[in-house]
Structures are given as structure tokens and as C-alpha cells.
Structure 1
Amino acid sequence: MKIVVIGCTHAGTAAILNSTKLYPDAEITVYERNDNISFLSCGIALYVGGVVKDPQGLFYSSPEELAVLGVRTKMRHDVVGADLDGKKLTIRNLDTDETFEDHFDKLIITTGSWPIVPRIQGIDLENILLSKNYYHSNTIIEKAKDAKNIVVVGAGYIGVELVEAFEMNGKQVTLIDSLDRILSKYLDKEFTDVAESAFIDRGVRLALGETVTRFEGRDGAVSKVVTSKGEYEADLVILCIGFKPNTELFKGQIDMLDNGAIITDEYMRTSKENVYAAGDSCAIIYNPTGKHAYIPLATNAVRMGTLVARNLVKPMTKYMGTQGTSGIKIYEENIASTGLTENSARELGLDIQVVTVKDNYRPEFMPTYDEATLKVVYERESRIILGAQIISKTDLTQSINTISVCIQNKMTIDELGFVDFFFQPHFNKPWNLLNLAGLRAE
């Protein structure tokens, strides 16, 4: 059996490592454009901020490791053509410019995603950077050394984390987003208000509800960002607008969402026989709605890549879907969310109710205690839990992993009230915060 893998970050690495164990007699070839694999891009802000000193710790595999496992490791090779019916690929060696063909019995598409780059005036000026891979992170660090005014465009996780890193390095930072709140995809307003206040208190300028209309430059490099409402000096601009799937190569050959995300079944099979897909190139089943959605997260990618390997010969293990569970630390605030927010549920037209609990996370007789805010979204008629968010200075984010399990198993808010959680004064109260949410639900 000849297995070919296109792309080797999270999903690709997981698929390859598991395939070498499950199919020791298979011939496995990986084609990767870059000269490195498995870079944890979620660690870029930590690297930029100096928390991570050695960037090699952000890699969990290497071309050399794959070669030792018997994988034909073709780095700096770009797949430029694909005939899925004929099971043929056209590949270009980026070092020699040589082009050749290869064939496969099983194809694994893990081509990932790429940052969205808007085609607006001045976008090609120097010092307007992306934040996705290892090379981006090194360029950001090098350019930031001499920059005084840094503008980050896009207030998702990556943008927000970079803003914090730059501010802590003494830079004047402006965060621009066309929406009126940061992290609005993941959190409701009462949670983003806390995070925004943390930035404002530290001198970060928030230009929210503003759309970038052009970049202006001086001597070929960016000097100003112009938005629909204002102008901001900039020595360095980081674009963190979002991501799109790298799937142009396969359009018209396999089923996709409108944005190009490949649709797979629960065994990671595409609409083309013997062709599988995983990671940021794919759509996933979003359990709160039961529909396909595009949620590019490393956690999803690793799970999907592992499942591809398990299901490559015959369907063995179903993908259970995702809740889009994620977390972030902004200065002293520990924040996490899973599933639908109140805002996103209402935008979908769902009939929901919410319950919010504010309480000290452990007994007041303890020497210290912090207040936590937990919000749970649930369906009005069925009472099934659809989402949750938590914020506190003490790290209680693992509670959201618990709610993720509840959503996956379609538990109700009433059942949550009586789930068996331990009590120990160092950690919580006799009624856990999650219990309280269930007990207080209308």
C-alpha cells in the first residue's frame, strides 16, 4: 500500500506517525513545502514575548525523525497538480525546480490553512507581516526589535496574544478589528469587557469597529494604517485577520464548503474514494449545531490526523465532532470557552436560555479566594447544554473541558446540577461552580 501525505504540520504529522505504527509494510511519502514540520503556531506569541526561549521546543517532530521511521520525507517539495481519479500527483522540487509525477493508493490531504490577506492599497509595503509559521515568528521578533508603534489587525486569539506580548516588551500597540469587540467569536460581551479593560489599563489602544482601508508608507515601508474611522502610526503591522483552507489544488474534484474547506464523513473520508483529509484544510462536525463548520484548531487537527490513520484501510473509529473548545490567558485573567456563546446562538435563531454564576471558587474561610464567572448556554425546550464560558484569576479553565464533554454527550443543564464533583477546600466549594449553574437554571 502506497500512502502519500500532502502537508505535514499537526494533522499530517499525526497521520504519518500513526500510519507507521499501524501499517509497518506500507510505503509512506510526505510532501512538504517547508523545511520543517509540526510547528506549534499557537506558541508564536509566547516565543515573541520571550516566554519561550528555545523555539525548538515548539516542534514535536522532525524530518529526521520521520526518515528514521522509514517515511520518504520530501521537504521543500510542492504538490502543484492533482488527478484524484487517476491517483496521480505532480510535484515540484523547490530547490532544483525539477517537476515529476508520483502516484498513490491512499492520499491524505493535510494541506492546512493560510492567513487571509486583504487586497487593499499598500498591502505590499515592507513590514506588513503574517503570523502563521516558524519563519513568520522569527521575522516578527527581528522586526519588532526596532519598532516603536506596532499595529495588530485582527482581534482573534493570535492577534490578542501578540498584542499582549508586544505591550509587555514595551511597545506602543494598537489593535484594530472591524467588529466592536475582541474575541467576539469565542466570548460574550461581559467576558470581552474584562479582557478589553486589561489592555486599556496597560496603554493598549483598541480601535474596534474599524475596518482598515489602506496602508501608507515611507521609503517603501509601512508608516501608517488608515481605517474607516481613524489613522494610526505604524513601524510594524501584523495581519491576524483569519485563515482560509489551502485546497485550491482539489477544487472541482472533491466536495467542499463555500470557503474551500473539504467535507469529510465521520471516518475522515472525502467524497473521492481512497482520498482522506484532516486538519485546517477540512470542515468538521460542530456538535452544538450538528452541522459542518470551519474551525481551524490544532486540537481538531491532531485528532483528525490520528483518525485518518486508523480508518485508512477500513472504517474503525468515528470522529465524534468538536465543540471548538479553546482557552486563553490575558495578563491575570484565565479564560476558556466551548460551544456556542449566547450571541452566536441567538444569531443562529436558536431558542435558548442562559445561566450565569458569579461566586468565589473556594470557601471564604481559606486565606485567599478569587471570584469566578461561569456562563452556560442551553436550549430552552430540551434543556440540552450548547456552550459555556469561564473567567477568573485562578485557573479554572479545566471546567470548560468538562462542559465540552457534557455537550458532546448531549447532557441537560438540570443533569449538570447533580454531577458528582469532589469537594476539597483548597480547590472548590461543596457545590462546584458547574453544579451551581445547573441548580440556578430557570
Structure 2
Amino acid sequence: MKVVVVGCTHAGTAAVKSILENHPEAEVTVFERNDNISFLSCGIALYVGGVVKDPAGLFYSNPEELASLGATVHMEHDVTKVDTDAKTVTAKNLKDNEVQTVSYDKLVMTTGSWPIIPPIKGIDSENILLCKNYNQANEIIASSNDAKRVVVVGGGYIGIELVEAFAETGKEVTLIDGLPRILNKYLDKPFTDVLEEELRQKGVKLALGENVSEFVANSEGKVETVVTPSDSFEADLVILCVGFKPSTDLLKDQVEMLPTGAIKVNQYMQTSNPDIFSAGDSTMVHYNPSHTENYIPLATNAVRQGMLVGKNLVEPTVKYRGTQGTSGLYLFGWNIGSTGLTAESAKINGVDVNVTVFEDNYRPEFMPTTENILMEIVSEKGTNRIVGAQFLSKYDITQSANTMSVVIQNEMTLEDLALQDFFFQPHFDRPWNYLNLLAQAALKNIK
């Protein structure tokens, strides 16, 4: 059985390992455009900020490991064509321009995503950088050494983490986002209000609800000003973090896709062509809170889907369980966790919800110290099915987002969580765990 894997980041690496573990007889050929694999892009801000000193730790595999497992790995090879009728893949060696065409019995598309590049005047100026892969991380570090004023465009997780990294290293930082709040996809207003105030206290300029209209360069072609409809900001360096789009042009009009361009798959990671599998940032997910097909590019989704490709390559064996889009963030001492729907995203996904915001200390006041937790729970009206939760505290409550992810995936209700059995020990929590109290407050709120 000949298997060709196109792209080898999170999903591709997981798929190759799983295929060779479950089907050691398979002839696995890998094509990767970059000169490295399995880079953890979520660690770029840590690398930029100097928290991670050795970038080698941000890779969890390498071409040599995959080759030792039995794969034939072609690095710096750009796949230019996929012929699904002939079942062939054509790739060009980027080092010598040699072109080769190989056949496959099974094709695995793990081509990932690429940063969205908006059509803004002056966007081709020097020192306007993207933030996705290892080479771009090195470019950001090299460019930031002499930069005093940094503008980050995009207030999602990557943008916010870079803002923190630059602020902590003494840069003058401006954050621009077209939406009125940071982290809009993950947190509701009570939470972002706290974090936005923290950013201002750290000296970060916030230009929210503003779209960049132009990048102005100097005579040497380097960006020096970022212009919005109402203001302008001086910049030595600009980082674009406005989102990602799936890299799926190779299969355009050959398999079914979402309007976003994400490849549609069934529970066994098969596309509409049963001999083609897809996983990771190029692929849709089943979003459990709303029972919809969504595009949520996260490394956690990628490694799970990649592993399932290997399990289901020959016959349907293990079903995909879907996702809640669970995520965590550490920002200026704040621990943040979220999972499932927010009040705003519930409207977008067509779910009618009740929302309860609740605060409590994580453990009894008679203990020497404790910390307040700001919490929110989102539940479906009529059924009380829990569909989302958010947490913010100086205490590390991020694992509660994982707990709530399990709650959502198993379609538990407010009543279930209100009486769920959790241990009590004053070092860690109250006789009623704060998750119990959150659900109980939601039930009172609904009544």
C-alpha cells in the first residue's frame, strides 16, 4: 500500500507516526515544503520573549525520526499538483527544481494553514512580518533587536502573546484590531475588560475597532507608520496576526470543502473521496457545542485528527469525537481558560443560550491566601445543556477548561454539574468546588 502525505507539521507528523505504527507494511512518502517539521508555532512568543532559550525544544519530531520509522521524507519539496483521477502527486524539489510524480493508493492531505494577508496599501514594505513558522520566528527576532516601536495587527492569541513578549522586553507596543475587543473568539466582555486594562497598565497602546488603511514606508522601503481611519502609529516593525486560512488549493473542486476552504471529512477523517484523508489546519472539525462543521485551527485538533488517519487508513476503526475548541493563555500573570461557545459565538452558531457570570475564591478564606476566580458558564436554553465556559484568575485554574471540555463533549447539563462529585481539601478548594458553585449560580439565574 502506497501512502503519500502532503505537509508535515502537527497533523502530518502525527499521521505518519500513526500510519507506520498501525500499518508497518505501508510505503509512506512524505513531501514537506519547509526545511523542518513539527514546529510548535504556539511557542513563537515564548521564543521571541526569551522564555525559551533553545528553539530546538519547540520541535517534537524531525525528518530523521520519521525516516527511522520507515518513511521516505522529501524535505523542501513543493507539491504542485494532485491528480485524484490518476492518483498521482507531482512535487518540485526547491533546491534543484527537479520534478517528480509519484502514485498513491491512499493520500493524506495535511497541508495546514497560512496567515491571512489583507490587501492593504503598502503591505509589501520591509519589516512587515508574518508569524506562523520557525523561519518567520527567527525573522521576527532578528528584526526586533533594533526595533523600538512594534505594532501588532490582530488581537487573537498569537497577537496578544507577542504583545506581551515585546512589552516585557521594553518595546513600545501598539495593538490594532478591527474588532472592538481583544480575544473576541474566546472570551466575553467581562474577561476582555480585565485583560485590556492590564495591557494599558503595562504601557500597551490599544487601537481596537480600527482597521489598518495603509502602511507608509520611508525612502528605503521600510515601514515607518501604520495608518488607521482615525489615527496613525509610528513603527519600526509590524507583525501581522489577523488569522489563518486553510491551504487547500491543491484539492480545489476535487473534494468537498466548507465555504472557508477547509476540507470536509467524515468521522474517520475521510474526504468525499474515500482514498483521500485530511487532518489538521486544512480540515474542518465537528464542533460539539453547536453540532456544526466549523474551521478551528488548533494544534490539539491537528494531532488528534492525524492520529486517527493512521487508525482508519484501511477501514473505519476509531471515530473522531469532535472538539470544543478548548484553549488556555497566560498573560501578565493572568491564567485564562476557555472552551466551547461564548455569548457572542453562540449567536453566530445558532444556539440560543443563557449566560451566567460568577465570582468566587478558589479555596476557603481561612487559608493563608486565596485568589478570586472570574467564571462564566453558557448553557442552551430549554435543555440546560452546557455549551461553553470561561475562567480568569491569578491562580492557575486553566485545567478547569479541560474539565468543562469533557462536560460539553458528554452533553452534561447544569443540574449534572451542580451536583457533580469533586473532592474537598482546603488546600485546593471548598466543600462545594467552584465548578459546582458556578452551575448552581446559573440555575438560580435561570429561575
Per the normalisation by structure 1, the TM-score is 0.99
1:63-82 pair list within 5 angstroms: 63-82=63-82
State the 1:351 CA deviation: 2.3
Using the alignment, how far apart are the partners of 1:207 and 1:271 within structure 2? 43
| Cα distance change of structure 1 residues 348 and 312 upon mapping to structure 2, 3 Å threshold | closer
Q: Residue type matched to 1:236 in 2?
A: L
Q: Please state how far the C-alpha of 1:439 moved relative to its aligned partner.
A: 1.6
Q: 1:151 is matched with which residue?
A: 151
- Preserved CA contact (<8 Å) 1:361 1:369: yes
Deviations 1:76-106 (A, max 9, x none): 1111001112101111011010112111011
Q: CA RMSD in A?
A: 0.8
Aligned to 1:282: 283
The one-letter code matched in structure 2 to 1:280 is D
Output the CA distance in 2 between the equivalents of 1:364 and 1:273. 58
Listed one character per residue, the Cα deviations across residues 288-332 of structure 1 (whole Å, up to 9, x for unaligned) are 111100000000000000001100010000001000000101111
Using the alignment, how far apart are the partners of 1:235 and 1:87 within structure 2?
48
> 1:228-239 residue pairs with structure 2 within 5 A?
228-239=229-240
Contact 2:290 2:351 in 1 (8 A): no
Q: Residue 188 of structure 1 contacts residue 341 of structure 1 at CA under 8 Å; is this kept in 2?
A: yes
Q: Is the 8 A contact 1:374 1:388 kept in 2?
A: yes
Please give the alpha-carbon distance, in whole angstroms, between the structure 1 residues aligned to 2:184 and 2:343: 11
Amino acid at match of 2:252: K
Deviation at 1:342, TM superposition (A): 1.1
8 Å CA contact retained: 1:49, 1:165:
yes
**What does residue 260 of structure 2 align with?**
259
- In structure 2, the partner of 1:318 is 319
Residues 91-134 of structure 1 show CA distances to partners (whole Å, capped at 9, x for unaligned) of 10110101121110110000000000012110110000000000
Q: Tell me how far 1:347 sits from its aligned partner.
A: 4.1
Secondary structure in 1 matching 2:227: strand
Aligned counterparts of 2:349 and 2:83: Cα–Cα separation in 1: 38
> In the aligned structure 1, how far is the partner of 2:22 from the partner of 2:381?
45
Deviations 1:255-293 (A, max 9, x none): 001121000001000001210000000011101111100
Q: How does 1:284-303 map to 2 (within 5 A)?
A: 284-303=285-304
Mapping for residues 141-290 of structure 1, pairs under 5 Å: 141-218=141-218, 219-290=220-291
Distance between the aligned counterparts of 2:348 and 2:366, measured in 1?
A: 43
Q: Contact between 1:357 and 1:433, CA under 8 Å: does it hold in 2?
A: no
2:358, 2:374 within 8 Å by CA — same for their partners in 1?
yes
Contact kept? 1:8, 1:37, Cα under 8 Å: yes
Return the offset for 1:355.
2.0
In structure 1, how many angstroms separate the alpha carbons of the residues matched to 2:402 and 2:85? 41
CA distance in 1, matches of 2:120, 2:196: 27
Q: Report the 3-state secondary structure (helix = DSSP H, G, I; strand = E; otherwise coil) of the residue aligned with 1:190.
A: helix
Which residue pairs with 1:419 in the alignment?
420
Displacement of 1:348 in angstroms is 4.1
User: In structure 2, do the counterparts of structure 1 residues 347 and 83 end up closer, same or farther at CA, with 3 Å as the change threshold?
Assistant: closer
Opposite residue 118 of structure 1, the aligned amino acid is: P
Partner Cα distance (1:297, 1:416) in 2: 27
Cα deviation for residue 63 of structure 1 reads: 0.6
Secondary structure of 1:378 counterpart: strand
The DSSP-based 3-state class of the residue aligned with 1:435 is helix
In structure 1, list runs of 5 or more residues that go unmatched: none
Determine the structure 1 residue equivalent to 2:328: 327
Separation in 2, partners of 1:346, 1:23: 44
| TM-score in terms of structure 2 length | 0.98
The CA deviation at 1:353 is: 1.0
Q: Tell me which amino acid in the other structure corresponds to 1:350.
A: V
Task: Classify the secondary structure of the residue corresponding to 1:123.
Answer: coil
- 1:288 and 1:348 map into 2 onto residues whose CA distance is 9
Distance in 2 of aligned mates of 1:296 and 1:89: 25
Q: Distance in 1 between matches of 2:88 and 2:95?
A: 22
Measured in 1, the distance between the counterparts of 2:62 and 2:163 equals 30
Residue 346 of structure 1 and its aligned partner are, at CA, apart by 3.2
The residue type paired with residue 182 of structure 1 is: I
Match for residue 126 of structure 2? 126
What displacement does 1:52 show?
0.3
Distance (whole Å) between structure 1 residues aligned to residue 137 and residue 377 of structure 2: 36
Residue 38 of structure 1 aligns to a residue in which SS? coil
Rate the CA distance shift 1:2–1:347 in 2: closer, same or farther, 3 A: closer
CA distance in 2, matches of 1:351, 1:67: 50
Pairwise CA distance, 1:435: 0.4
2:435 alignment partner in structure 1: 434
CA contact (8 A) 2:290 2:349 kept: no
- Provide the C-alpha distance between the structure 2 equivalents of 1:116 and 1:228, rounded to a whole number of angstroms: 21
* C-alpha distance in 1 between matches for 2:340 and 2:310: 27
User: What is the CA-CA distance between 1:229 and the residue it aligns to?
Assistant: 1.6
- CA distance, structure 2, for counterparts of residue 299 and residue 29 of structure 1: 24
Q: How far 1:161 sits from its partner (Å)?
A: 0.1
Question: Residues of 2 paired with 1:269 and 1:24: CA distance?
Answer: 20
1:1-20 matched pairs, under 5 angstroms: 1-20=1-20
